[in-house]
Amino acid sequence: MSKKTKKKMREAFAYARLIILGLIMVYPLLWMFFASFKSNEEIFGSLRLLPKSFSLQPYIDGWSSAGGINYGKFFFNTFVLVIPTTLLTVLSSTLVAYGFTRFNFKGKKQLFGLLISTLMLPNAVIIIPRYTIFRTLNVIDTYWPFYLAAVFACYPFFTYMLIQFMRGLPYDLDESAYIDGCGTFRVLYQILLPLLKPAIFSAGLFQFLWTYNDYFNSLIYINSVKKFTISLALRLSIDAETVVQWNQVMAMACVAVIPVVILFFVAQKYFVEGVSTTGLKG
Amino acid sequence: MKLKKIMAVILAASMMMSLAACSNSTDSAEKAPSNDTTVTKAPDAGTNTSDAEEAHDPVSLRFSWWGGDARHEATLAVIDLFEKEYPWITIEAEYGAQDGYNDKLMTQFASGTAPDIIQLETGAAPEYYAQEQLLDLSSTSIDFSNFDPTFLENNGQFGSGSQYAIPMGKAGTAIVVNKDLADKIGIDFTKPYDWNQLIEWGKQVQAYDPSLYLISGNETYMMPFILRAMARQMNGLPIINDADNTLNMTEEQFTQALEFIKQLYENNVAVPLSYMATYGVNNQDDPNWIAGKYVAYVGYTSSADVMQAANPNANYIAGNLPVFADRKSDGWVNDCPQYVGIYAKSKNPEEAALFLDFFFNNEEAMKTLGTVRSVPPTEKAQKITLESGKLNPLTKMAVDVSMQYNGKSDSGKTTSAEVSAILCTAYENVAFGEKTPAEEAKEIVSLINDYLAAQ
C-alpha cells in the first residue's frame, strides 16, 4: 500500500466517523421531520424512521390553529418579541459592562456584588414580584415585560459575561484613544466595540435562542391567544384528554425550528468564536 | 475630565430614560383594549335607549381554560353564540395548554389579575376556595335546576353549603378493559369483584404470558385509585377529617392499603412504575398499550376515548371497580374533571354569571360543547349530546358504571397538594420495595399529622 492510499484510507475513515456522529446528533431533528408525515399509530407503534407515505396535509392543517389564528401570526409575534429583546439586551448589557469595567465610582464593589447576587436568583423565586411590578406598570399581556427587562439590563448573565470579556481588553487602548481626543462614548463604540464583537455576538445569539425557546415567561405574561408566541402555540393542541394529532404538532415544530437552524448556519462562525472566547456553551 | 465623566453619565441615563419613556407611551396606547375589564362607555350608548332592549354599557370579560384543539374550537363557538345573544358583552378567550396553567393562575391570584371566568383543576380548587379567590355562585343569577343536587354538593361546594365552583363535566374513576384480551385469558370485569381478585387475575395474566400485565396505571392515577378509594370504602369517610383536622384512617388501615400496593407490584399485576414514569399521564403514547399488551387501564372516564383511539384494533369496555366485601361505602364517586368558577375580585360578576348560565343551560351551547369536557354535567345536556351522536359509547359506559356506586367525594384537605405528595411518595416507596408497608404507614401518619398541626 502506497503512502497516498494509506492517507486516503485514513481520511475516508475519519469522514465516515464524522458522518456517523453527525447523524446521531441530527437524528432527533430527522425523526421529528419524518414523524410529521406519520399517523399517531405509526409514531408510537413502530420504530421505522421513514413514514409510509408523504403528504403536506399535516403542514396545511397544522398551520391554522384553533380560533382562526394561524402560525403566520404566531411567528410574527415571536419575532416582535424576540428581536427587540435581543437587541436591547445587547445594548444595555454592553453599557453596564462598560461602566463596571472602565469607571470608578462610589459603591462599585457593592453594586457589582448586587449584580452577581441577582444572577443566582432562580426565575421561580422572582416571578411573582416581577409580575406584580409589571402589573403596576400596566404592561401585562404585552411584550413590554420582556423589553423592559432588556432595556434595564436585567439579564445579569450577559452583563457579567461582557464584564469579564471587557476586563480582558487592555486599558492601554482606551488611554491612547483618550490622548488622541476621544470622548468616553467614542472609546466604547470605536475602540472597544469592534474588539467586543465575539462576546456581543454570542450574547445576542444566546439571548435570541433562549427567548425564542422560553415557555414559562411567555406563559405568565401573555394572556391573549392572538399575542401568543411559537412556544406557547405549539402546546395549544396538546392535552391529555383529547386525541392529539401528533403529525400536525410535529409539522409545526419542524417549521418552528427553521429560523433557529437558519440562524445557526448564518452565524456559525460567531457561535464557534463566541464559545471559544467566552467559554459559553449552548 | 471629570466634567466629561459626569456628562457621560447624564447622557447614558437620558438615553435609557428616552427608551423607557417611549416604551410607556406606545404601550398604554396599544394596551387599552387588550386586557382591562373596566367598563368603557360606548359613544352612542345614550342614543340606543329607544330600542326595546334596555341599553347596556359594553362589558368585557376574560375567560381562561386549558385543553386541546377540539375543546378550544367548541368553547370559542359557544362564546360566539353568547356574544350574539348578549351583544354588549365581549368575552376574551385565554386558552392554552394545561402545562403551567396552575402556575400562571397562582401568579395572577397573587397579584389580583386573574380572569373573570376561570376553568379550575379539581385538586387545586379547594385551595383557591380557602384563599377566598372564588365568588359564591349561589348568590348569582346562575340557574342550577338542571344539575343533580347531590352531584353539585359533592363537587364545588367544598363543604360550605354554597356553590363556589361548577363541575364542568361528569367523570369518575374508570377501568378501560381491552375486552378481546380479557376474554382470551378468561377475565370478566363486568361482574362485581373485590380488591384481592385483582391480584388473582394479575397472576393469571402472568401465567398466560409473562409479557402481559393486568393493569397499566400511572402513579398519579393509581395513588387515588388505591389509597383514597380504600379509605372511603373502609371508613365511608375521606382520609382526613377537615372539620377538626384529624386523621380518619388509622395506621393499621394504611398498612393494609399499602400491603395491597406491595402485592400489586411484587406479583407483576401492574406494570412497573419505573416503566410507567416515562409517559406521565399520557399513557395513550405507551407502545405496549398500543400493541394491546395490557388487559386494563386505570384512569378516568375523561381519558377513556383517548385510550380507545390509541389502539383502534381492539374492542373496549368499561370494567366494574373493585370494592371490599365489608365496606362502609362503595367509595367510588362521581366527580368532575374540572371546575369553572368566577374570580372573587371580578369587576363584572353579573355578566360572568350570565355567561356561565348560558354555558350550562342553553341548548345550543350544550350541543356545541358536546363532550369536549367529558360527559356533560347535566342530564339534559347528556341527552342532547347522546342524540347528536357526540357522546362516545365507551365514555358513556364508563360514566354509567361509575354512577352505580354511592361514594362521597373526599375533595378537601385529603386532595390538597401537600397530602397528595405525601401519599404519592408512600406509594412509590412501597411500589419500589424501598420500605415495608408497616414502616411507610407510620411515616404517612406522622407526616399528615405534621401537616394538620400546621393548619
Q: Does B96 touch chain A (CB under 8 A)?
A: yes
Give residue for cell 466604547: A188
Q: Mind telling me how many Å the CA of B123 is from chain A's nearest CA?
A: 16
> What is the phi-psi region of residue B132: left when phi exceeds 0, alpha when psi lies from -120 to 50, beta otherwise?
left
| pLDDT tens digits along B121-132 | 988 898 899 999
- Looking at every residue in chain A, the average pLDDT score rounds to 88
CB-CB neighbors (< 8 A) of B111 in chain A = 128, 131-132, 135
Mean pLDDT throughout B218-227? 92
3-state secondary structure of A137: coil
pLDDT at site A239: 77
**Subunit contact B111:A127, Cβ cutoff 8 A:** no
Q: Does A240 touch chain B (CB under 8 A)?
A: yes
Q: How far is CA B41 from the centre of its chain?
A: 38
**Subunit contact A148:B20, Cβ cutoff 8 A:** yes
Stretch (H or E) spanning A231:
helix A230-233
* Residues facing residue B95 across a β-bridge: B65
Start-to-end CA distance of chain B, whole Å, equals 64
Mean pLDDT throughout B28-46? 41
Cell of A122: 432562580
**Subunit contact A141:B35, Cβ cutoff 8 A:** yes
Question: pLDDT tens digits for chain A (282 residues)?
Answer: 688 888 999 999 999 999 999 999 999 999 999 999 988 878 877 778 888 888 888 898 888 876 678 899 999 999 999 999 999 999 999 999 999 999 999 999 999 999 999 888 888 888 889 999 999 999 999 999 999 999 998 889 999 999 998 988 888 888 989 999 989 989 998 889 988 888 898 899 889 999 999 999 999 999 988 899 999 998 887 877 777 888 888 999 999 999 988 988 888 887 777 666 665 544
| pLDDT tens digits along B371-403 | 888 888 888 898 888 888 878 888 888 888 888
Give residue for cell 361482574: B191
CA distance B96 to B111: 20
* Residues facing residue B119 across a β-bridge: B340
**Subunit contact A138:B28, Cβ cutoff 8 A:** yes
Q: Does A220 touch chain B (CB under 8 A)?
A: yes
* Residues facing residue B241 across a β-bridge: B246
Burial A107-141 (b: 16+ CB within 10 A, else e): eeeeeeeebeeeeeeeeeeebbebbeebbebbbbb
Candidates A134, A215, A223: best to mutate against B (most CBs of B within 10 A) is: A223
> What is the phi-psi region of residue B275: left when phi exceeds 0, alpha when psi lies from -120 to 50, beta otherwise?
alpha
* Residues facing residue B247 across a β-bridge: B240
pLDDT tops 50 at residue B422: yes
pLDDT tops 90 at residue B64: yes
Nearest to A229 by CA among A210, A248, A244: A210
Q: Does A257 touch chain B (CB under 8 A)?
A: no
CB-CB neighbors (< 8 A) of B24 in chain A = 137
pLDDT tops 50 at residue B337: yes
pLDDT at site B50: 40
Q: What CATH code is carried by the domain that includes residue A111? A: 1.10.3720.10
| pLDDT tens digits along B253-270 | 999 999 999 999 999 999
A window 142-171, beta carbon within 8 A of B: 142, 144, 147-148, 151-152
Could you tell me which chain B residue has the CA closest to the CA of A69?
Answer: B73
Q: How many domains does chain A have?
A: 1
pLDDT at site B41: 41
pLDDT at site B54: 64
Could you tell me which chain B residue has the CA closest to the CA of A104?
Answer: B5
Query: Do the beta carbons of residue A65 and residue B97 sit within 8 Å?
Result: no
Q: Mind telling me how many Å the CA of A108 is from chain B's nearest CA?
A: 14
B window 384-403, beta carbon within 8 A of A: none
Could you tell me which chain A residue has the CA closest to the CA of B36?
Answer: A138
**Subunit contact B95:A132, Cβ cutoff 8 A:** no
pLDDT at site B9: 54
B244, with CB counted inside 10 A (0-12, 13-18, 19+), is exposed
Could you tell me which chain B residue has the CA closest to the CA of A68?
Answer: B73
B315, with CB counted inside 10 A (0-12, 13-18, 19+), is middle
CB-CB neighbors (< 8 A) of A40 in chain B = 309-310
Stretch (H or E) spanning A261:
helix A246-266
pLDDT tops 70 at residue B244: yes
CA distance B411 to B338: 12
pLDDT at site B190: 92
Fold designation for B60-169+336-395? D-Maltodextrin-Binding Protein; domain 2 (3.40.190)
Does residue A151 lie in a domain region?
yes
Nearest to B221 by CA among B299, B117, B337: B299
> What is the domain range of residue A144?
64-278
Please identify, in words, the CATH class of the domain defined by B171-333+416-453.
alpha beta
Query: Do the beta carbons of residue B276 and residue B218 sit within 8 Å?
Result: yes
Query: Do the beta carbons of residue B19 and residue A151 sit within 8 Å?
Result: yes
pLDDT at site B140: 92
Mean pLDDT throughout B178-196? 93
As a whole number of angstroms, the longest Cα–Cα distance in chain A is 78
Nearest to B104 among A95, A220, A236 (CB): A220
The fraction of chain B above a pLDDT of 70, given in percent, is 88
Q: Does B277 touch chain A (CB under 8 A)?
A: no
Nearest to A138 among B31, B66, B303 (CB): B31
What would you report as the CA-atom Rg of chain A, rounded to the nearest whole angstrom?
Answer: 24
Could you tell me which chain B residue has the CA closest to the CA of A217?
Answer: B104
Q: Do the domains spanning B60-169+336-395 and B171-333+416-453 agree at the CATH topology level?
A: yes
B390, with CB counted inside 10 A (0-12, 13-18, 19+), is middle
Could you tell me which chain A residue has the CA closest to the CA of B33?
Answer: A141
CA distance B261 to A73: 50
Of the two residues B366 and B3, the one the predictor is more confident about is B366
Domain boundaries, chain B: 60-169+336-395, 171-333+416-453
- 3-state SS of chain B is CHHHHHHHHHHHHHHHHHHHHHHHHHHHHHHHHHHCCCCCCCCCCCHHHHCCCCCCCCEEEEEEEECCHHHHHHHHHHHHHHHHHCCCEEEEEEEECCCCHHHHHHHHHHCCCCCCEEEEECCCHHHHHHCCCECCHHHCCCCCCCCCHHHHHHCCCCCCCCCCCEECCEEEEEEEEEHHHHHHHCCCCCCCCEHHHHHHHHHHHHHHCCCCEEEECCHHHHHHHHHHHHHHHHHCCCCEECCCCEECCCHHHHHHHHHHHHHHHHCCCECCHHHHHHHCCCHHHCHHHHCCCEEEEEEEHHHHHHHHHHCCCCCEEEECCCECCCCCCCCCCEECCEEEEEECCCCCHHHHHHHHHHHHHCHHHHHHHCCECEECCCHHHHHHHHHCCCCCHHHHHHHHHHHCCCCCCCCCHHHCHHHHHHHHHHHHHHHCCCCCHHHHHHHHHHHHHHHHHCC
**Subunit contact A240:B27, Cβ cutoff 8 A:** no
Could you tell me which chain B residue has the CA closest to the CA of A93?
Answer: B16
Does residue A23 lie in a domain region?
no
CB-CB neighbors (< 8 A) of B63 in chain A = none
The model's confidence at residue B21, banded by pLDDT at 50, 70 and 90, is: very low
Candidates A239, A246, A249: best to mutate against B (most CBs of B within 10 A) is: A239
Mean pLDDT throughout B71-86? 93
Query: Do the beta carbons of residue B45 and residue B74 sit within 8 Å?
Result: no
